[in-house]
Amino acid sequence: MNGYASKSGANHARQQSKGSRSANGTSNPETEELSQDQLQLFASENADLLKHYEDQLDQIAQAERSILDISELHSQLHANLEVQSEHIQQLVEDSYLTSENLGKGNQELKRASERRSTAAAVFWGTVGFCSFLVVWDLVF
């Protein structure tokens, strides 16, 4: 039975109980008592209303749990985003340092390639001396 039908049934039962009053407005105690059908109708209506309100309470509790879960997930997301933001900031700083270090390294390589190294001079001197010795050995 839906809530609207049970309300109209209860109103009908109330009207019947009001109709049992005497013409002078006084009520007869015997007629004020509700009939068994009316009591069953009220009990049924009360049970329906109780079930309806319990269902609503369950829905509200489920909504509350969902909201709490969403709030917890939001907090975790916020914390994770904060950590990621810090990591991204560190990566940006590292990329600037890497660019700076690459520039300095390229300058060092350019300077090193422009000047004559001692090792190269010793190598070519040794090659020349060994060649001289080989030629000297062949000639004499």
Q: Of 105, 1, 102, whose CA–CA distance to 45 is shortest?
A: 1
State the average pLDDT over residues 110-134: 87
> Residue 90 above 80 pLDDT?
yes
Domain boundaries, the chain: 3-139
Q: Between the CA of residue 76 and those of 69, 72, 81, what are the distances in Å?
A: 11, 6, 8
**CA-CA distance, 9 to 135, in Å (whole number)?**
131
User: Which token pair is 65?
Assistant: 């749990």
pLDDT value, residue 4: 47
- N-to-C CA span, the chain: 130
Express each pLDDT in 43-74 by its tens digit: 999 999 999 999 999 999 999 999 999 999 99
pLDDT value, residue 32: 62
pLDDT value, residue 13: 47
Express each pLDDT in 24-42 by its tens digit: 444 445 446 879 999 999 9
pLDDT value, residue 10: 46
> Residue 130 above 90 pLDDT?
yes
**CA-CA distance, 71 to 79, in Å (whole number)?**
12
**CA-CA distance, 66 to 46, in Å (whole number)?**
30
Distance of CA 83 to the CA centre of its chain: 14
